[in-house]
Structure 1
């Protein structure tokens, strides 16, 4: 087994090879230390810049890293390890780093037009048939959903941790992590960088736009299910209280009725509706693998239809770090987001480029 110091040196050499080929000189303005006041943002940018000797803020980055060497953020980034030596690479057509990370991107770089033609051919559908059941009244028939990923604070000394949750949050921060996600919201995230606040605020504004366009009634509200996934077992109730307080204290939602579901509530639902509890539990829940909470957000529609509102027959999952740019959609398509979702082919059928029959049961994006 290699010594840790040898592993660190191998990793740093690898990063000095890779990062300059992923971040070109023309990209330097995108990782400017002065364009953010958030320390975590600065540390992440400084960590990348240290491997870019030609970056104008190279020395400044090294200084920031030295001053914050004991930060949890830096400690985490320093855990990156290479298990194989990285040979010298160059940003030439014959040896482009995208070959390692995304071969399709390399194909696009070499012959974008040919790749675009190939993709369009494979995605083209024929013999389209409209759905027998179509979305007509989105305020009544559409259930919105999204997933919120919550983790303990990155910095247990951060002033951004709500005081009422501080003790519990710090306790979980000291425990081993059970589940891993792509972009959880740490409980020390600032309000300005919290995607839950950002996403719900923008969604509420988008629905307000729908009302102004007479797509839905002025007094209507849209139901939305939020599944709450946590990184640590036992954190479910804390995360739900944190989410509820964030919304209550920072948002004045006019157009959304929110319903929060954590893992504990999912277990209760299974115990009531499923005779084969263990089988159902593996696919119906919100913690752990992406497939579980994605399956939950699809399955909740059937339960909603039978127990809450029999008129609700469609569901659409959004990501809270994305928004409906209503003016853009209206200029591009002549329709709002909800009008685009009222697609008569959603739920219909078609034939793909191989002649295979496909169901148009899922709609992605607008």
Structure 2
């Protein structure tokens, strides 16, 4: 049994990770989440009564509180997923991304270092700080079959990806300078259940059901490597439990698709599932609408996940088709979850939360 402190555990990827760990292992989990707009306790409802689950509403940028939680919980590892992550929001307001992703990470690293230095020798050797990041730190690729790997140079394009690149460098610096046992992972675009509706795939599903336009940036030719979030959760657990300190592992789904193809596939799956057409809509595809491209939009991402396959035995279990079908079905059968996000009622349960509640 391990004790894992997971920051950002009420977010999309974080909650999938928590649900996986509590469902598949005997480990104990402390979720630390500030509960900004993207943190949703409804996403943790399936494990809320689990005896190995604990929640603390806290900000990674609050050093004394993080030090207190570390001292009380005594984790064997920190899995750091707390981040501002929406590119469009970073373009409109970069300050929050700098505050959380850069300053917050530095404060958390210092709290972790202070805690780690108090541990007995064996516990210090076993401790891990797992920093979870994105493939967007590498910029974009030409459409020539090339892929990102662990040695790819950094070339971030947006305030979001630049802030994540900075946090990656901080995590590695804390290992090089102080010896903190750090692991870094960079993943491709995630999708799946409990995905916040501002992101491409849930936005398209929900808009289609409501008869609203399905906005596609530019020509829709931007290519992403799509990774089912539950596959990602399994990969993260493999890294934190079996990865070598100081190493980076890139994680991808082997599913490159153009954005326009993703949207068209979603429309087809909604048709196959018998989703009701809104008034005036004969086919969901007629809702696809081209909109002006966003500034600095990366054209292509692709991941060579060979290292994590060779060293840790991880490979994605879902294909693009199987993962997308599961995702569409989940949104069709979980109206209450996303309706509570849309109407804001999911935020009404946040008052009075504290450690252990």
| TM-score, shorter chain, exceeding 0.5 | no
Higher share in strand: 2
Q: TM-score range by the shorter chain?
A: under 0.3
TM-score by length of 2: 0.25
